[in-house]
Structure 1
């Protein structure tokens, strides 16, 4: 008997989600079939739904899935039926970045994660239905096909329904600090935009031992929460506020690191200008396709500042996600405070609440 899956389908850019039922394919030799327990909703899902980032419609989105393995392909290693797992991003494993240990910069990243190129099989996930290999999981569904490379086994007694966001948004913010920037203890660091990704960056900065952690946002309530997670100072951005000047009122020379999570061009400019000489700007927040950030070339030369991009927190997921789980279990990474749960059938409500800034991290529960 084929496995029936309930899926949330986007028919075209700007459309709402529609729940449908379809028979899902069996896993290929290097794939697994997952019964999803819960899936996080990420701003990337919203951007793709709106048409600001690419995909091929109709499509099943969702890329922060967590669940239990139902079936395992013949050549899968290290995973078995019944394992609790978190799903993350796809990577080919063969290109130079993958071979050199940087799978987040896979040469095939766009095809495998945005354009629904199924990595483990040529056949579609649904014979008569929408594209469903988004981030090699399409986890806005009760069941999902995923490739062994992006499936992370979770050991121990932990609520698997909470962990899906570690597969993208939360690992991105934490990894931007802990893996991309890698600030020495005592460094000064700014986080621009404290949604769920930025809050995870604040937590990561505290774990890294940063001496001064400045959170910047337009929302005072978010800034208050950022203090609970480790921010030592906050700046309310807005009309007439010179963020870089405010930063230098806290640290005269400027910060050593800026983690830009908002995807806003003015915020990115402020984050760059807040840097001390030789400081590093880590660009995390994804604006609409085609957005350009500008800087003064001579300022850049004379300051020795560096600008680096960051995808998925530079995470090697099979190591980094379990590390974050262990930190959470020890009470050092309380990302659960960002979560609000919704039934799967309320997906459009969850998406709207995230869009409106009413929640940090919605989690859809499938049962």
Structure 2
């Protein structure tokens, strides 16, 4: 079928074109996209910062929509189902079978190569194969995804589905760092470095978890103000604070119990570790490219018995985790609707510009 999609032919390019989309295979579904979130990971791929990326490719990995067709082997979804699309996984490796698809052995190729798990592609342009980012490619009017990576959503009116875009990546990444890896006890302290969509979601999760000191760190005053609205108890403007680590230690009376890094700035990963008290845990989720930091192993990590861990997609099993997040959203406890700004699909380039400049925390593209 002919569909409209935003195609990246080479690094840094993005243009809306007519492409051909093949029908779904046995384990796949065809989804009419209602809305798609713009994420910094999309920008990193478009700009060539991710080494496994191939071109041409249709980016977008935070789609929501309606199932229009299901493959013969699909028994979990049917036409008419509302779904949130999420990250791909093979379903067969030991990690997937153990309930950890976020650590799938085939993560890199499924996320970034543009191919599906059978090694083929679903989009073509003038006979040339075109990749689908995250085996999804939701910057398009329609997308093909494997049924295991489409999560059925119930109880949310159609006019509210558009707010759920980032459930598939950004929100589950931010909340998952807190719920699934930190697992903070009520009454503890948690620091969030970077108040974009992922960081704001972490702030919300910390509030749900009962953390009594939630510190948001950023350099954009409007983001820090919003962080207070969604659960932060204290904010630190890193552009105006001489020593962020010392300030956090002062506020928390010796160091935070937990810290999560979502800014993508390598130095913030080190600050997340150093601001902790003994036995603290720091979680890093952001894309920084081939960056490195120097960690003081003995006094910064070993001696105080701290944990410094990386995490993909919030340590989530989406079919289990996303429905829980949807329930928090429906109950008003996960106010992700406060983070979004809507754009017509044709204005996709402006959406990326506003995301980069900080004008929009979570741009969402709307389709007719």
Tell me whether the two structures share a fold, i.e. TM-score over 0.5: yes
Once the 2 structures are TM-superposed, how far is the Cα of residue 258 of structure 1 from its aligned partner? 0.5
Question: Is 2:121–2:131's contact at 8 Å kept on the other side of the alignment?
Answer: no
Q: Which residue of 2 aligns with 1:5?
A: 3
**d(CA) in 2 for partners of 1:88 and 1:69?**
14
State the Cα deviation string for residues 78-109 of structure 1 (Å, max 9, x = none).
10011111100000111111111111010100
Unaligned runs of 5+ in 1: none
Question: Is 2:36–2:63's contact at 8 Å kept on the other side of the alignment?
Answer: yes
Once the 2 structures are TM-superposed, how far is the Cα of residue 157 of structure 1 from its aligned partner? 3.3
State the Cα deviation string for residues 139-163 of structure 1 (Å, max 9, x = none).
0000111001101011123322221
Question: Is 1:31–1:120's contact at 8 Å kept on the other side of the alignment?
Answer: no
Q: Secondary structure of the residue that 1:303 maps to in structure 2?
A: coil
Q: Which residue of 2 aligns with 1:62?
A: 60
Q: Which residue of 2 aligns with 1:85?
A: 83
Question: Could you tell me the TM-score, scaled by structure 2's length?
Answer: 0.96
**d(CA) in 2 for partners of 1:179 and 1:331?**
21
State the Cα deviation string for residues 327-357 of structure 1 (Å, max 9, x = none).
1111111000101110111111111110111
Q: Secondary structure of the residue that 2:350 maps to in structure 1?
A: helix
Question: Is 1:73 aligned with 2:71?
Answer: yes
Q: How does 1:22-33 map to 2 (within 5 A)?
A: 22-33=19-30
Q: Which residue of 1 aligns with 2:228?
A: 227
Q: Which residue of 2 aligns with 1:157?
A: 156
Once the 2 structures are TM-superposed, how far is the Cα of residue 230 of structure 1 from its aligned partner? 0.9
Once the 2 structures are TM-superposed, how far is the Cα of residue 4 of structure 1 from its aligned partner? 1.7
Q: Secondary structure of the residue that 1:126 maps to in structure 2?
A: strand
Once the 2 structures are TM-superposed, how far is the Cα of residue 118 of structure 1 from its aligned partner? 1.1
Once the 2 structures are TM-superposed, how far is the Cα of residue 133 of structure 1 from its aligned partner? 2.7
Q: Secondary structure of the residue that 1:107 maps to in structure 2?
A: coil
Aligned-pair RMSD on alpha carbons? 1.3
Q: Which residue of 1 aligns with 2:295?
A: 295
Change (3 A) 1:109 1:121: closer
Q: How does 1:169-318 map to 2 (within 5 A)?
A: 169-238=170-239, 241-288=242-289, 290-299=290-299, 300-318=301-319
Question: Is 2:343–2:364's contact at 8 Å kept on the other side of the alignment?
Answer: yes
Question: Is 2:121–2:132's contact at 8 Å kept on the other side of the alignment?
Answer: no
Question: Is 1:40 aligned with 2:42?
Answer: no
Instruction: Name whichever of 41-50 and 128-137 sits farther off.
Output: 128-137
Once the 2 structures are TM-superposed, how far is the Cα of residue 238 of structure 1 from its aligned partner? 2.3
Q: Which residue of 2 aligns with 1:106?
A: 104
Question: Is 1:141 aligned with 2:143?
Answer: no
Question: Could you tell me the TM-score, scaled by structure 1's length?
Answer: 0.96
State the Cα deviation string for residues 55-92 of structure 1 (Å, max 9, x = none).
10111000000111111100012100111111000001
Q: Which residue of 2 aligns with 1:343?
A: 344
Unaligned runs of 5+ in 2: none
Question: Is 2:60–2:138's contact at 8 Å kept on the other side of the alignment?
Answer: yes
**d(CA) in 2 for partners of 1:357 and 1:123?**
34
**d(CA) in 1 for partners of 2:174 and 2:214?**
14
Once the 2 structures are TM-superposed, how far is the Cα of residue 130 of structure 1 from its aligned partner? 4.7
Instruction: Name whichever of 151-160 and 88-97 sits farther off.
Output: 151-160
Once the 2 structures are TM-superposed, how far is the Cα of residue 124 of structure 1 from its aligned partner? 3.8
**d(CA) in 2 for partners of 1:239 and 1:266?**
16
Once the 2 structures are TM-superposed, how far is the Cα of residue 240 of structure 1 from its aligned partner? 5.8
Question: Is 1:126 aligned with 2:124?
Answer: yes
Change (3 A) 1:25 1:225: same
Change (3 A) 1:8 1:245: same
Question: Is 2:121–2:129's contact at 8 Å kept on the other side of the alignment?
Answer: no
Question: Is 1:342–1:364's contact at 8 Å kept on the other side of the alignment?
Answer: yes
Change (3 A) 1:191 1:263: same
